[in-house]
């Protein structure tokens, strides 16, 4: 047993006040600090603590899913998040909150407060996000992907990350089940959908052998292609904005995997928003193109600047390197398309769905939005291995049956 206990607001004040650097960041006596809970996700307790000099954000694991106390969970999930933040901060520090303190016994992260920021998903619904925010996400994915890949560093460092994040099996199991498997199982009690409106469509998805063969391909890509260190849960609810300041949060699902997984989850959530808000479809298509252009530009630039940093590709001359870049980016796009489709389906009929559908004006509008998402998701899953360019992706999105 450790000294773990679930911290209450008074406990947090005392704890932070006992650490000089954190106390100085907040200022004044700890008794006067304001503590408010801002827990928004399914898993953890999150608090903002504010003092006269500043604020911090505190995130603590619970021994169960926050929204379902009967679903037991390991406390170490914040350990993996802190490990992920430390690993990628040297490369993307300006795009994530600063890690200020981590307590491995309390499984408590103390980080920079983003209390002036707002969650991207909500900002999309309110149309308050500045257009072009996806350029920063493209940079984030490129920087984390390259510098944690076999191309961006010696294999010993990649193997160390494989070992360091291999133990994150409980959250990876959540991904394997909730994202990659459950929605296609007819008897899975965790699934739920609009009934009777979507009953026939869901039955088709859950009995389509050809679709399930494609799903199996993406399952194998997720588990069998440790290309780089992934965020693992990159969606519009794990991104916060304040003007043009973009930050990525909630890296507790971190693992080694295919680069296109993070990219696909992000793009899939933009498409889900477009399904719910038809008037935002062109905006979301522009953001998807902005994301991809930013990602590919940054990834190529890092590769050109660091051509011999890793053990993969270190022998290539300029012509060979450019050919390898084209091949790798085509592979990332294939994975992006497939995983975007998986994300669209799971967020529509699976356990953890998106709030974007609440933006629909009525039940008929919501049914149509969900059908659009399921139709496009299915297209992306089954065609993903043939989608290798941004133009091919956008054409798929825009054709009949898409958007």
The enclosing domain of 211 has a CATH number of 3.90.1200.10
Domain CATH number, residue 91: 3.30.200.20
Does a structural domain hold residue 3?
A: no
At 59, is the secondary structure helix, strand, or coil?
A: strand
Range of the domain at 13: 9-112
Q: Which of 112, 144, 173 is the last residue of a domain?
A: 112
User: Are 304 and 157 within one domain?
Assistant: yes
Distant-in-sequence contacts of 40-43, Cβ < 8 A, 24+ apart: 40/119, 40/237, 41/66, 41/237, 41/250, 42/66, 42/67, 42/68, 42/352, 43/73, 43/77, 43/252
User: Are 174 and 322 within one domain?
Assistant: yes
Does a structural domain hold residue 313?
A: yes
pTM: 0.95
User: Are 94 and 160 within one domain?
Assistant: no
Question: CB neighbours of 51 closer than 8 A, spacing ≥ 6?
Answer: 25, 26, 27, 28, 30, 32, 33, 34
Does a structural domain hold residue 1?
A: no
User: Are 19 and 134 within one domain?
Assistant: no
pLDDT of residue 44: 84
User: Are 275 and 370 within one domain?
Assistant: yes
pLDDT digits (tens, 9 = 90+) for 135-177: 999 999 999 999 999 999 999 999 999 999 999 999 999 999 9
User: Are 344 and 253 within one domain?
Assistant: yes
User: Are 101 and 129 within one domain?
Assistant: no
User: Are 289 and 200 within one domain?
Assistant: yes
pLDDT digits (tens, 9 = 90+) for 70-109: 878 889 999 999 999 999 999 998 999 999 999 999 999 9
User: Are 95 and 215 within one domain?
Assistant: no
Does a structural domain hold residue 205?
A: yes
In this prediction, residues 27-53 reach a mean pLDDT of 90
Shortest CA distance to 107 belongs to which of 72, 79, 87, 66? 79
User: Are 308 and 386 within one domain?
Assistant: yes
pLDDT digits (tens, 9 = 90+) for 7-26: 999 999 999 999 999 999 99
Does a structural domain hold residue 270?
A: yes
User: Are 29 and 72 within one domain?
Assistant: yes
Does a structural domain hold residue 253?
A: yes
End-to-end, the C-alpha distance of the chain in Å comes to 53
Q: What angle do CA 360, 366, 368 make, to 5 degrees?
A: 120
Does a structural domain hold residue 2?
A: no
Phi, psi dihedral angles at 347 (to 5 degrees): -80, 0
Does a structural domain hold residue 290?
A: yes
User: Are 227 and 303 within one domain?
Assistant: yes
Identify the band that residue 1 occupies on the pLDDT scale cut at 50, 70 and 90: very low
Query: Is the per-residue pLDDT at 231 higher than 50?
Result: yes
Q: Which of 87, 112, 137 is the last residue of a domain?
A: 112
Q: How many domains does the chain have?
A: 2
Q: Which of 112, 134, 168 is the last residue of a domain?
A: 112
């Amino acid at each position: 047993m450790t000294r773990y206990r679930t911290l209450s607001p008074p406990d947090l004040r005392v704890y932070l006040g006992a650490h000089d650097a954190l106390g100085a960041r907040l200022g004044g006596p700890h008794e006067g600090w304001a503590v408010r809970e801002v827990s928004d996700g399914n898993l953890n307790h999150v608090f903002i603590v504010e003092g006269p000099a500043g604020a911090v954000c505190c995130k603590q694991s619970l021994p169960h899913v926050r929204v379902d106390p009967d679903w037991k969970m390991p406390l170490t999930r914040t350990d993996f998040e802190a490990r992920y933040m430390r690993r990628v901060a040297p490369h993307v520090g300006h795009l994530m909150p600063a890690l200020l303190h981590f307590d491995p016994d309390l499984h408590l992260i103390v980080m920079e407060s983003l209390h002036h920021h707002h969650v991207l998903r909500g900002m999309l619904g309110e149309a308050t996000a500045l257009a072009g925010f996806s350029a920063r996400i493209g940079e984030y994915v490129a920087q984390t992907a390259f510098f944690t890949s076999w191309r961006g560093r010696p294999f010993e460092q990649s193997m160390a990350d494989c070992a360091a994040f291999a133990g994150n099996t409980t959250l990876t199991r959540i991904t394997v089940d909730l994202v990659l498997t459950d929605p296609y199982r007819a008897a899975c009690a965790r699934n739920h959908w609009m009934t009777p409106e979507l009953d026939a469509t869901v039955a088709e998805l859950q009995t389509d052998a050809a679709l399930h063969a494609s799903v199996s391909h993406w399952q194998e890509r997720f588990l069998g292609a440790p290309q780089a260190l992934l965020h693992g849960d990159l969606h519009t609810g794990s991104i916060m904005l304040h003007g043009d300041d973009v930050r990525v949060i909630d890296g507790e699902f971190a693992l080694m995997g295919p680069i296109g997984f993070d990219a696909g989850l992000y793009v899939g959530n933009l498409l889900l928003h477009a399904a719910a808000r038809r008037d935002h479809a062109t905006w979301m298509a522009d953001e998807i193109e902005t994301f991809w252009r930013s990602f590919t530009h940054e990834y190529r630039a890092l590769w050109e600047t660091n051509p011999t940093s890793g053990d993969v590709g270190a022998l290539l001359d300029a012509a060979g390197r450019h050919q390898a870049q084209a091949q790798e980016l085509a592979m990332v796009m294939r994975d992006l398309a497939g995983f975007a489709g998986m994300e669209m389906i799971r967020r529509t009929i699976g356990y953890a769905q998106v709030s974007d559908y609440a933006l629909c004006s009525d039940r008929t509008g919501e049914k149509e939005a969900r059908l659009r998402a399921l139709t496009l998701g299915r297209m992306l899953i089954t065609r993903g291995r043939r989608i290798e360019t941004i133009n091919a992706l956008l054409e798929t999105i825009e054709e009949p049956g898409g958007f």
